[in-house]
Amino acid sequence: MLNKYRPEIAILSIAFFQILINFSLYNLLTTLTISILLSWLYIQTKSILDCILASLFFNLLPYLSIYFSPFKIQGFNTKFSATVEFQPLWFNLLGIILLTGGSWLFFKYITSKNNKPLK
């Protein structure tokens, strides 16, 4: 897609197709975010191996937090069960703050005049 379209269009197209393939309202924002970040990583590094390793690490995070974290947060890193457990409000607010801050830094980097591709 990079040969035919600008990087922004290619990234959004890939993200759209990824959402269609993995369609789940529960994971919609996560799928969109990871697809955009992995597409951006590929454009910067030109290495599919980096994208595979990043995806592998992202998919391992829930299991690492369940079995190796000393802190247990209800609904986040407690063991899987049939009953639904909601995470606390402070945890959701922290996620919103981190997402907003990370997005701001990411767009600030993209729009800066002197950004250089990662080597």
Domain boundaries, the chain: 7-111
pLDDT of residue 119: 45
Question: Are the CB atoms for 31 and 21 separated by under 8 Å?
Answer: no
Q: What single letter denotes the amino acid at residue 66?
A: I
pLDDT of residue 31: 84
pLDDT of residue 70: 79
HEC assignment per residue over 40-70: HHHHHHCCHHHHHHHHHHHHHHHHHHHHHCC
Tens-level pLDDT at each residue, the chain (119 residues): 777 888 888 888 888 888 888 777 777 888 888 888 888 888 888 888 998 999 899 888 878 877 787 777 777 776 766 677 778 888 889 989 998 998 898 888 878 766 665 44
pLDDT of residue 64: 82
pLDDT of residue 96: 92
Which residues have CB under 8 Å from 54's CB, separation 6+?
37, 38, 41
Question: Are the CB atoms for 41 and 54 separated by under 8 Å?
Answer: yes
Which residues have CB under 8 Å from 80's CB, separation 6+?
66
CA-based radius of gyration for the chain: 17
